[in-house]
Structure 1
Amino acid sequence: MQVTSEAVSGVSRRLNVSVPSSRVNEQFEARIQRTAKTVKMNGFRPGKVPVNVVRREYGAGIYQEVVNDIIRDTVFEAIQQEKINAVGTPNIEKVENKDDALVYEATVEVYPEVQVAGFDGLEIERKKAEVKDADVDVMIENLQKQRQTWAETKGMAKNEMQVTFDFEGSIDGEKFDGGSAEDYTLVLGSGQMIPGFEDGIVGMKKGEEKVIDVTFPEDYQAENLAGKAAQFKITVKKVEKAKLPEIDKEFLEVFGLSEEEGVDKLKADVRKNMEREVKNGLRSQVKQAAFDALVAANEIEVPASMVAQEIDRQRQQMVQQFTQQFGAQGAQAFDSSVLPDDLFKDQAERSVKLGVLISKVLQDAKLEVDQARVTAFIEDMASSYEDPSEVIEYFTTDKQQRAQIEAVVLEDQVVDHILQGAKVSETEVSYQDLLKEQQARQQG
């Protein structure tokens, strides 16, 4: 077999393969002989069909099968012979019988060969944050709000108050579907209603009626209402103020604390959890900043097949998230095929480029996973559980779980390696701003 190859692009190679006709003919004759022993034809006993009859009746089909099998086998032989680091499935073209040989072309995508730009040209912002006493107080208050009750008031409705009311909507004096409700409950300022609706209720009291004017957003989900001006008749039935629970014995027991341990122990536990959040948030922020800088500084071409695989992975990940949120029954009603590739393409291309670059950094720096850091990572993660030793045992002994953590730690080592050579600036941010940034990254 003769093989030549040429570069079509940075991530594609064309192979010209020539297979001797003798190899094709040998396999063809062997398959004709086998077929003659098994084929059933009218007028002949099984196994007694003459070879020339088999050749006449089935020869063309058998020959095509042989050609297909030889191409399937030889294309991978050719890839190995040319030492090509192929990805995806080869595309076969121009199959011909010529000069006592079967010849064909095969185009195959290859793993990109890259040279990573020097880290000294990277500018990376690293955030710094710390948990302050005021942050802990806000978190304690949030815990109280999660368990708050409501107490009726005769005063005016204000933001963060809960209002029970009837409403009736109309456009040009005509009611519309879904525009009316009775005993509707709403916390003012929650942003659940269209712009202007909640503001119109602020200042109203129990028993008061009022007509408010609002305009549906241009991108409102109901097309028949989008951009239209409407009037809502509001009748307030109840106004309630939030009543936070006292930090007493009952409240502390919810968090596994005794009355003797008191609010100081609660604050200490809350601070510990918040500091863990800060640590993880800062780690996530600098990792993304470093990887963003790495991708931006290295414009590389990646194989379409790798991007397609990543698109499929991200699509399946979305299905899994949908399943977790809505359950198996909801997931069955969710048709992932309606999600177009363009929805994932940009992120998929970035992920593939980043994966290629990280692999190259690991190779160039000869980085290997630091098992001490893996152990520390597991212990830190386990410290938030009721029985840390059980969690440590699970993630230490389960090969799959440990491998996932090793991959995370190795990424952290890549980040540290990049930061050593990059221009790093530090910016102080508040605890709240750090959390908002982290939530935005997760949603993005």
Structure 2
Amino acid sequence: MKKKTLGLLAAILSVCMLAGCGAEDTGDGTGAATDAGTESTTLKDMDVDKYVTLGEYKGLAVSVDTVEVDEDEWDTLVNNVYYGNITPENGGIMDRAVETGDTVNIDYEGKKDDVAFDGGTAQGYDLTIGSGSFIAGFEDGLIGVMPGETVDLDLTFPENYGNSDLAGQAVVFTVTVNYIQPAQDGEFSDEIISNFGIDGVTNEEELRQYAYDYLNENAQQNYETNVQQAVMDAFMANNTFTSVPEALVQKYSDAAESSITSMASAYGVDGDTFTQYYYGQDLATFLSTYAEQTAKQDIALQAVANKENLNISDEELDQMLQDRATAAGYDTIEEYIGETSREDYREYFLYDKVLDYLVENAQITNN
């Protein structure tokens, strides 16, 4: 399913809607109205023509850069897939001790006074011996260790180790060397590749095709997104707005704020820090701009749907929801949508339908 808006901003209302942050369903299919006596914020019931005068929306001329697979990125992915699938049983070096310059796959746990400390534990970590990535003594302590062996390293964190409580403290790292990575010299073994368990991949040629197909699919998705964004920008530039319903703007602002706050919390920061990092604005400034732009966009799309008979009927909505509920493993639509309004889903699907219509009728030139 496409996002409600394009780019990183897409996640905000989409995630919020799917989490049930939209308007409460009243049960009559109309969605929630705002206050008594005011116009509903449900787009299909709104007189959108009093807010927007549509400009030309058929035959929009846009120019979009083609997106192709980068050769270096392709080589890097092949390399990463190959060495990322090496195991002790399949390609890992197990018959000699660790030497300086080796890349070793390790599990480790760091403890201070027999208590594991935060950030001191990892499994399947690739470490190049001699890189200086870890504190003094860690990498040297693995030289001479055989794959499969576990050692305890008695080490001391540097006195100037940031503002950490570990600065200057004695610790013990328990480290298991799982295997030594084979040299990354561009030489790939078909025998090793055949044991990766990747469907249709049994040799280097098939591995390279597998990596190319993955990158090409991503490139095509990026191209389609760029086309959609270019068409949407051209479409919106042609429209004239007299005003925007405050209730609709507030609805989008509240939903976006709820979603951003939730995402920010997952990163351990507040909303202002989150939006400042991603958008260079505090939360209030971002919400005021984003909510109004989204309201204008959806009003204009609804106006096109009205003119071109693109609205989603109740029967069509039921079928779309049933298809998605079945695909997601739910027995009923009600279980699938939870507390989310059916009208939120209708508007979500309508966005895709009208945008597809605009793209199909656009004149797209590739650079």
Instruction: Compute the TM-score of the two structures, normalised by the length of structure 2.
Output: 0.47
By percentage of residues, which structure has more strand?
A: 1
Give the structure with the higher percent helix: 1
Name the structure, 1 or 2, with higher relative contact order (CA <8 Å, separation 6+). 2
